[in-house]
């Protein structure tokens, strides 16, 4: 007789293989004590954190901590309701006003997570007879959102503007709205979208709109940290910007901003907004404060990119294959999943934490050791990380192998 979990047998087998050698489990890491933005105690060991997405290191910003404590005292630990009912406090509206000011848009809606922001907006914005044309490497939250919509879904090749143009040309005579969906910086490999080319293509076709997920580029790109649209100089051409507070802003939550006059109607039709409890006041207060720090964080962005360049160069010079150009996301490619697990276990046992990522979540079938840099990482920490990567790779016999893969 079939069991209810039988369809996950393959996942069970894969997980068993990951932990079969008795080493640490990459998907059950426990941080027993967080020492700073860049260090924690993991397995009774002081560990450098290189996989937290804490890009600007704002999780311990004193101003944000004070605001969060004050909000706890004034409003309690939670709202116990959705935004549509009793879950909108003064802080939620103030945060939305701050987002409008930050992005120079007319409207902002805050969601409880970045995943819900993507899933909610994409499942609601487009309907029957519409088309969503999305980059093939988009995040899982985007995939879930478009699948819940009733629009026709069309994928174009990753970062291939010509392929996007070809697919839109086929839809040119069809009625219905078309929505292009991309990311500013893609989460797995850290590569940027060719936004200027995509905007030029969008302008060629009627009833065509553009949504960009700026989760990993907000706070990182642009003079004021508004992401790839600001860096490229085409903010007015991006119709909807989705983002999260769980990266550069250093807390949790999601949002979408736009200047469309009827945009506020989403509050009345978006299930992920209507039926989800709203963010706790302490989280909202810290997000608002840190948003101001992001805006004025030019020095932090400079330090972040300095660290990214240093780590990227060090790993490449050591003979490791890094999957993309210089970015706060630095992804090292391992030859296969088994070797990748052994590599990860060697790193964590030596005091470096990174993310482990496998297909189908990764592009090109890559097995990845994914680093995400922080502005608070010191030069000495980056040197330690490079040294530990090199040492572990050498023990696994990977340095010559990765060089061969890189040119093969």
Q: Which residues are catalytic?
A: 187, 216, 247
C-alpha distances out from residue 198 to 162, 202, 212, Å: 9, 6, 11
Give the orientation angle of helix 379-395 with respect to helix 398-407, to 10 degrees: 90
Contact at 8 Å (CB) between 163 and 194?
A: no
Q: Which two tokens stand for residue 5?
A: 């979990």
Give the orientation angle of helix 379-395 with respect to helix 298-317, to 10 degrees: 30
Q: Nearest Cα to 312, choosing from 57, 52, 50? A: 50
Give the β-pairing of 45-49 and 39-42: antiparallel
**Helix ranges (DSSP H) in 234-336:** 266-269, 271-274, 281-295, 298-317
For residues 132 and 126, what is the distance between their CA atoms, to the nearest angstrom? Answer: 8
For residues 157 and 236, what is the distance between their CA atoms, to the nearest angstrom? Answer: 25
């Amino acid at each position: 007789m079939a069991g209810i979990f039988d369809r996950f047998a393959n996942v069970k087998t894969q997980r068993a293989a990951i932990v079969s050698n008795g080493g640490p489990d990459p998907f059950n890491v426990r941080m027993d004590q967080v020492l700073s933005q860049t260090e924690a105690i993991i397995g009774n060991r002081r560990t450098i954190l290189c996989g937290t997405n804490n890009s600007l290191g704002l999780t311990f910003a004193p101003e944000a901590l004070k605001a969060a404590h004050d909000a706890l005292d004034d409003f309690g630990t939670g709202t116990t309701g959705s935004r549509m009912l009793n879950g909108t406090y003064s802080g939620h509206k103030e945060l939305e006003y701050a987002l409008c000011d930050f992005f120079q848009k007319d409207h902002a809606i805050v969601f409880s997570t970045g995943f819900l922001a993507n899933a909610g907006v994409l499942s609601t914005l487009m309907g029957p007879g519409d088309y969503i044309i999305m980059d093939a490497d988009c995040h899982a939250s985007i995939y879930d959102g478009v699948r819940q919509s009733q629009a026709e879904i069309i994928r174009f090749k990753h970062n291939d503007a010509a392929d996007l143009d070809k697919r839109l040309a086929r839809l040119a005579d069809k009625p219905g709205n078309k929505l292009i969906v991309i990311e500013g910086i893609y989460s797995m490999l850290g590569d940027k979208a060719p936004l200027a080319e995509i905007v030029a293509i969008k302008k060629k076709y009627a009833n065509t709109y553009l949504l960009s997920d700026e989760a990993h580029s907000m706070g990182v790109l642009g003079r004021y940290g508004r992401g790839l649209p600001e860096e490229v100089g085409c903010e007015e051409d991006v119709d909807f910007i989705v983002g999260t507070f769980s990266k550069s802003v250093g807390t949790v939550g999601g949002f979408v901003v736009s200047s469309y006059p009827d945009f506020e109607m989403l509050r009345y039709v978006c299930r992920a907004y209507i039926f989800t409890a709203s963010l706790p006041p302490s989280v909202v207060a810290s997000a608002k404060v840190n948003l101001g720090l992001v805006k004025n964080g030019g020095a932090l962005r400079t330090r972040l990119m300095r660290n990214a360049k240093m780590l990227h160069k060090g790993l490449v010079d050591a003979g490791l294959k890094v999957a993309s150009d210089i970015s706060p996301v630095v992804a090292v490619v391992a030859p296969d999943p088994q070797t990748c697990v052994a590599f990860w276990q060697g790193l964590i046992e030596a005091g470096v934490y990174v993310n482990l990522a496998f297909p189908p979540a990764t592009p090109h079938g890559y097995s990845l050791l994914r680093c995400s840099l922080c502005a608070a990482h010191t030069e000495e920490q980056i040197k330690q990380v490079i040294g530990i990567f090199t040492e572990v790779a050498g023990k696994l016999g990977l340095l010559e192998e990765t060089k061969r893969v890189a040119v093969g």
